[in-house]
Amino acid sequence: MTYTVVEEHGNGTLHVWPLPTDEKSLLELVTFLFERHWEHIWFGVIVQGAAWEVAAPNAPERISMYDGYVTVDFGRWHFHLCIGEHTAGGPELGAIRRCARAEMYRRVGDDGSPTSWGVRLFNGRDEQLMTVLLPNPFLTDRQQILDPPDFSRLAAWDELRATYFSLDPDPLDRAGKGFNHG
């Protein structure tokens, strides 16, 4: 599967691969990210004017579904994402709240090489529900610069590409020289 090139105003270029948005697929994605990679990801909402980059304090104590919402519970705090049919607010509100677009992306620098990798979910109004920043070969788990890069940190990215698109690791992902902000 090929990607779409998206120019983001003020954020550079993204290569974007669409993901399925049915409840089963999204629950599997959330479970994969938070049960298998919780120590190495950052997540939150990243929009113009705000970036919430949160690290999980521990593995989730529970991932559960209720009325279309997945809850990822870390014990002291949790979050909810509407990924399935939500009925409590009626069909119109359910269609707005539910994840309508999901995508994997890699941010590409001016030199044409990737600098970051992630997953984004959007609701029925195309508002961002969440971004998950996947492990980055140029950054530690505390977001400090790695020198030299550790390309083994692309394991989650490579597994998602293989799972959803039957794609092998892309040499372009290992061509970068370092991290830069968009």
Q: Which residues pair with 4 in a beta bridge?
A: 16
In the predicted structure, residue 16 carries a pLDDT above the cut 90: yes
List domains and CATH numbers for the chain. Answer: 4-169 (3.40.1570.10)
In the predicted structure, residue 182 carries a pLDDT above the cut 60: no
CB atoms near residue 49 (< 10 Å): 5
Query: pLDDT tens digit string along 102-150?
Result: 999 999 988 889 999 999 999 999 999 999 999 999 999 999 999 999 9
Confidence band, pLDDT 50/70/90 cuts, at residue 1? low
Instruction: Give me the chain's average pLDDT, please.
Output: 94
CB atoms near residue 83 (< 10 Å): 25
pLDDT score of 9 = 66
Confidence band, pLDDT 50/70/90 cuts, at residue 17? very high
Phi (first) and psi of residue 159, to 5 degrees: -70, -40
Question: In the chain, count of helices (H) and strands (E)?
Answer: 3, 11
pTM for this prediction: 0.94
